[in-house]
Structure formats: C-alpha cells, structure tokens
Amino acid sequence: MGPLTGVKIIELAGIGPGPMAAMLLADMGATVLRIERREAVDLGVKKPLKYNLLLRNRQAIALDLKDPQAVALVKELLQNADALIEGFRPGVTERLGLGPDECLAVNPRLVYGRITGWGQTGPLAKAAGHDINYIALTGVLNAIGRQGQLPSIPLALLGDMSGGALYLTIGVLAALLEARQSGKGQVVDAAIVDGTASMATVFYGLVGAGTWNPQRGSNVLDSGAHFYDVYACADDELISIGPIEGRFHTELLRHLEIDPAQVGEQNDPRNWPAARVLFAEAFSRRTRAQWCELLEGTDVCFAPVLSFAQAPHHPHLKARGTFVEVDGVTQPAPAPRFSRTQSAIPTSPQSASVAGIDEALAAWLPQNQIDQWRKKNVMGDGPP
C-alpha cells in the first residue's frame, strides 16, 4: 500500500536524517532494505529496538561492508533497486567500493542519495558535526531565542530532520521521477546546511528588505511581539497564541476582555512590552482547560502547549488519527495522506538476524540465490 509501492530502496545504516528519510519513503509504500553493521558501533542515543521508530516499516540484513563478498551482495541487490541512501562522511562509500561510480555502473538508473551535515564538498566536508552546528552555520540558530538571552537550542527537528531528511527525501523522489523519463540515475547531494538555509529563505528575504531586526526576540515571529508567544495559565500550564492578522488580534482582545485602546497599534513594537503584561495577566486568570474551552475552534489562533505524552490524546489529533499505536508504542502515523493510495499502518522496527534473511531478501532475490548467499556466510546477526 502507498503511492511508492513497487519502488525499491537500499539503505546503508546510519543515524538521524538517513533513517528518517528511509522511514518516510517506507511509510509511503517503498520496499526499503536496511543494511546493518554486524558489529555494534556508537550511533547516537541507544534505545530498545521497538522504540527506535525511525527503523519502522522495513526489513534488515547485517553485513560487514569491509568484506568484498558483502560488497558483492550489495551490488547484486542494487541491480533490482531504484535508489540507495547513505549517510557516511564523504569518501567512505568510495573506499568500501560502493561509491556512486561503482553503483551506477551496476545499475545506470540508480538514484544515489547522500546525506551529510556539511555536504560532499567544501572546507568542512569531512569534519564531524551535529544538528546544532549545521543550523548555527546557516544563521538560523542565532535567530532563535528571547531578547537578551543566548540562542535557544531547538530539537534536532530543524536541522537533521527538516533540513536533512526532508530534503533528501524530496531529492530522491525528484530524481526517481527524472530517471523514469531519461533512464539515467544520478547522485543527490543532500547537505543539512543547504536544506536548513533553504528553509530560511523567507527570513533571508526579510533581512534583505531591512524588515528583520537582527536582535533576537524583537520581531513578530521570534517572541518579540505580545501576540505571537506562549503564556502561563492559572494552573501553570501553557498556551500559545498567534493572531498576526488584525482581525484575529481584535477577536482575541475581545475574549481577553482587554480594551484595544490599552494595547494601541498592534504592530508598533513600542506597544509590545505593555501589551505583553496585559496578556500575561489575562491568561493567568483561568486554567488551561478553561482557555481551551473558550478559545479552541475560534479565529484567535490558539492552541495549548502539549507535551509528547499529552499530544496523542488531544481530541483533534485523535479525530484525525495523527498518532497510532504499534506493538504498544504510540507514534506518529505516516504523513502526508493520500486519497487513493493510502499508507499502511506502520510495522515495528525489525532487527537484522540470520533467521530473518529469507523474509528480508524475498522482494530482492529468488530463493535459490538467497540460499547461495547463505552458504557463503556473508550475512549475520546485527549488533546486540
């Protein structure tokens, strides 16, 4: 099920944006085979397999890619693949004999997707880094935070998952479409710095126009304005508001029982500090549940600030089925949604094991070839 049914992708095991992109493609129906390492390595935050949700919806085999026989198996699998995803440092797959030139020689239609932080080229290309470093270099981190404070550290959603995984996914899908027309594959160089910079395009436009104040926490969208922020309620729970448009702001003032004359011109930064005090006092008079009852569903641009534990239970998200439970683990459902080729409910993350080789390779090789590779003892159990 899903719009990518029939598309086959090899994923060389990595962390963060690579697995996220593979998950998105698998969620949409692609058959993704994950090539795990046979030995344990330090790959991010450790967790039990069933909670490693980025590994859902696909099978895995374990190979030692320093073994020429294992490399030969990957190349045989690539003959039946539409794409490959890898997230090593530049030059690693080339040294393994699985670089773009070698893989495209095996399958000229192959889309070779590469995800790194700094990109395949440039002075920093081979340096280590993480999400915080990539968003820092692009100017994005400097813009996030409150006035007079150091930049706030956002979740790795911003760099790894958005600037990285989403741009890799978009690039792979675009290259797959082009390959169907031209019959030729190509390399997709997805760098988190490039993707993060791309996401900030609108803000670079504001900077160019001279309408973005470089001081953190002094603009409408960065907590500078009283009408685009988070406030505490009587029970210390939090709510968010964002009525940027004048008519929505006026509607919120009505619900808060605040005289517009007390606030003054909405978009005059000189009025924001005093208006913030008025808003804080107003929101502190009721509990979050009371504000939800009053403001949810109105045009004041309101939502409660929920925790990861609370979000799946919100009536709107429950009604939409935004979250699903798989093997006792609550997790986001596949997105986006399709009217005709609906994505299936996710399957639990699978470990690479000798016992599961037949099932993992069933979509890739005939049984007699699987048996031959078994006899060569190339595949083993994944890391514990």
Residues tagged active-site: 130, 160
What would the DSSP string read from start to end of 242-298? ---SHHHHHHHHHHHT--HHHH--TT-GGGHHHHHHHHHHHHTTS-HHHHHHHHTTS
Q: Are strands 302-304 and 83-86 parallel, antiparallel or unpaired?
A: unpaired
Those residues whose C-beta lies under 8 Å from the C-beta of residue 279, and which sit 6 or more positions away, are: 226, 227, 229, 231, 241, 256, 258
User: What residue type is 86 in one-letter code?
Assistant: E
Q: Which residues pair with 355 in a beta bridge?
A: none
Of 145, 129, 329, 122, which is closest to residue 221 (Cα–Cα)?
145
Q: What separation, in Å, do the N-terminal and C-terminal C-alpha atoms of the chain show?
A: 31
Q: Residue 11 and residue 383: Cα distance in Å, rounded?
A: 17
Sign of CA dihedral 202, 156, 132, 137: negative
